[in-house]
Every structure is written in structure tokens, then in C-alpha cells.
């Protein structure tokens, strides 16, 4: 089974959908136990919200973040019960918390509470300092960085997610982001589109959220990782508890360097990966980064079966 040490990739906000995890919980008792544990830890029916909606409630940042982590951990539990042991891990923004659970640095319970609090803090920061985010497709990083510098004359705007070649997400004050979108269109971007988010994530406008998150992280026991986790903020592996805490503190204010993180893993660990949790966003990004990589997506019983198939096909 060539997949059994594949690098684990964990999705972030935007991969949620009503119905997520329901089939998994119905098929696997160990997955059902994870969903029940999440409900108990948070004190409300998060699993029911994930399984049944309503969609507008699930999309609220404070619900989305723990729901995605919960689903990812349910999938991981099912895979590990069948012999899977990741050689390394990475997670996109919120997904980095899932990666640290997979690496033994955070307990599932602590990670749930942290991302629930993180979602609340991010929403509150967005209310206090309204901002926006926009995806820019078709321009390379240096051109986008120059656009941000030029647009900053009217408002803060920075690259927030460097996802894949020609795909960068900007974040900042509304005026800055809108000016950057205008400049990007004028300079040849294929697509510029505002994202439906409640704040300027991964930008200086998240300063109050980062301060609150830092306080929450100080109250949590973080252990050294048993496998390398490539951090968003540095695009390099972290393993010690101090490195992990610092990385998570800085993450809200800095860019998610996803393309660089994937290139490090491809060069230093391997080319077989599995997207653990809802959606296929990370698999799609990898197609643009390196088509030689083989990425499975596992979110439901069919995905589990395909991943565990003797021929090891990563569909």
C-alpha cells in the first residue's frame, strides 16, 4: 500500500459544505465518535450543523473553522485505524491546526477550542477594522507585490495567500484591495474577484485577533511534533513546541505561503500526498504547482476505499 505514509494536507476555510462528514459518520464508528466528541467539547451540535446546515450558519467563521477541523480529524482517525501514518504534514491557514493534531503537538480538544476562538477573534477584528480579500489570477508574485505597493497609497493591501503559480489572494482595507484589483486588471490579470469573507485575514488588520489568539495559545499545552509540519508563515518545517506556538501567532498577520510549502515538501519528503477532509481545493492547487505529484482526496467512504486500495491509486 504505497499510500500509507503519504504527506497529509489539511484544507482551510472555504472547503466547507452542508453534508460534510455525514456519510463518513454513518459508515465508520470511529468517525462518529470524533463528531460526538466535538459536540461535547464545544457544547453544541457542531456535527448536526455540518451534516444538515443551515448553510448560512455553517459559513460563519466561528463555525466553519471547527467544523472543517472536526471533519479532517474524523477522516484521519479512519485512515490511521487502517494503518496510515503520515510522513509529514501541512495545512492551509486553519488547516495548519489540523496538521499539528496529526503531528501530536495539539490534542483534538485543544485544537477545537483554539479554532473556535480563532474564528470568533477573526470575525471581531473584521467588524472593528473592516476589510476585504480578493483573488488575482494570471499574474506572477513580483507583479502582484508591485501592485500592492502602488495600491497602498489609498489603503493597506498585502498578498495574503500565495496559493499556486498565477494565483494570489490579496487582503487589506477595502479601498486598497479595490485599487489593487483595478491595477491588476489593467496590468493583465485574467481574473480579479472579491471573496465572500468577513475580514481581511492574513493582513495587518488582524492585529487584535492575533493578540487574542496569542493569549489563547499561551494557555494550551503544545508538544514537539513527531513529524515535520511545514508552516504557512515560513514555508519550512517546524517541530519544536516553541516554533509551533510562534508560527501560529504570526500566521494571522502574514501570508500563507502555500506554493513554497508544497515545493519544499516535494523536494524534501515526497510526491505522494493526501488531502484529509472536505473538498478538493488543495488537490486542485497542486495541479498548478507540480503535475508529477499524486494527491488523493479523502472526505467520504468512497475516498477512504480508493485511498486504501491495494494498487494505491490516488484518485
| Tens-place pLDDT, residues 207-263 | 999 999 999 999 999 999 999 999 999 999 999 999 999 999 999 999 999 999 999
pLDDT, position 314: 46
In words, the CATH class of domain 7-126+205-308 is alpha beta
For residue 23, pLDDT over 50 is answered with: yes
On the question of a common fold for 7-126+205-308 and 131-198, the answer reads no
For the chain, the structural domain boundaries read 7-126+205-308, 131-198
Correct CATH for 131-198 of 3.40.109.10, 3.30.70.250, 3.40.630.30, 3.30.420.10: 3.30.70.250
Q: State pLDDT tens for residues 140-189.
A: 999 999 999 999 999 999 999 999 999 999 999 999 999 999 999 999 99
Higher pLDDT, 272 or 2: 272
CB 261 within 8 A of CB 232: yes
Report, as an integer, the average pLDDT of 53-77.
97
Segment 278-300 mean pLDDT: 96
pTM (2 d.p.): 0.96
pLDDT of residue 313: 47
* DSSP string for the chain: -TTTTPEEEE--TT---TTTTHHHHHH-HHHHHHHHHHHHHHTS-HHHHHHH--HHHHTSHHHHHHHHHHHHHHHHHHHHHTT---S-EEESTTHHHHHHHHTTSS-HHHHHHHHHHHHHHHHHHHHHS--EEEEEES--HHHHHHHHHHHTTTS-EEEEEEEETTEEEEEE-HHHHHHHHHHHHHTT-SEEEE---SS-TTSGGGHHHHHHHHHHHHTS-----SS-EE-TTTSSEE-SHHHHHHHHHHHTTS-B-HHHHHHHHHHHT-SEEEEESS-SHHHHHHHHH-TT-EEEEESSHHHHHHHH-TT----
Mean pLDDT of the chain: 96
Would the pLDDT of 295 be above 50? yes
Residues classed as catalytic:
93, 202
Amino acid at each position: 500500500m504505497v499510500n500509507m505514509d503519504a504527506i497529509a494536507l489539511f484544507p482551510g476555510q472555504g472547503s466547507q459544505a452542508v453534508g460534510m462528514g455525514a456519510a463518513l459518520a454513518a459508515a465508520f464508528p470511529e468517525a462518529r465518535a470524533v463528531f460526538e466528541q466535538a459536540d461535547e467539547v464545544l457544547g453544541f451540535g457542531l456535527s448536526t450543523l455540518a451534516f444538515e446546515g443551515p448553510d448560512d450558519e455553517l459559513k460563519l467563521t466561528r463555525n466553519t473553522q471547527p467544523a472543517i477541523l472536526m471533519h479532517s480529524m474524523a477522516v484521519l482517525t479512519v485512515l490511521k485505524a487502517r494503518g496510515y501514518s503520515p510522513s509529514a504534514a501541512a495545512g492551509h491557514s486553519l488547516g495548519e491546526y489540523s496538521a499539528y493534531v496529526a503531528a501530536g503537538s495539539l490534542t483534538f480538544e485543544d485544537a477545537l477550542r483554539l479554532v473556535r476562538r480563532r474564528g470568533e477573534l477573526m470575525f471581531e477584528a473584521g467588524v472593528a477594522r473592516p476589510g476585504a480579500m480578493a483573488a488575482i489570477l494570471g499574474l506572477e508574485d513580483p507583479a502582484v507585490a508591485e501592485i500592492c505597493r502602488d495600491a497602498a497609497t489609498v489603503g493597506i493591501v498585502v498578498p495574503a495567500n500565495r496559493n499556486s503559480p498565477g494565483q494570489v489572494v490579496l487582503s487589506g482595507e477595502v479601498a486598497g484591495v479595490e485599487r489593487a484589483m483595478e491595477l491588476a486588471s489593467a496590468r493583465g490579470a485574467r481574473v480579479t474577484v472579491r471573496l465572500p469573507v468577513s475580514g481581511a485575514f492574513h493582513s495587518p488588520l488582524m492585529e487584535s485577533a492575533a493578540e487574542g489568539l496569542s493569549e489563547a495559545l499561551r494557555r494550551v499545552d503544545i508538544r514537539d511534533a513527531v513529524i515535520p509540519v511545514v508552516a504557512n508563515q515560513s514555508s519550512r518545517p517546524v517541530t519544536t513546541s516553541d516554533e509551533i506556538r510562534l508560527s501560529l501567532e504570526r500566521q494571522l498577520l502574514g501570508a500563507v505561503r502555500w506554493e513554497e510549502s508544497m515545493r519544499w515538501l516535494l523536494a524534501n519528503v515526497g510526491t505522494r500526498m493526501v488531502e484529509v477532509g472536505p473538498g478538493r481545493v488543495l488537490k486542485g492547487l497542486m495541479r498548478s504547482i507540480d503535475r508529477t505529484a499524486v494527491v488523493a482526496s479523502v472526505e467520504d467512504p468512497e475516498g477512504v476505499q480508493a485511498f486504501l486500495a491495494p494498487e494505491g491509486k490516488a484518485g
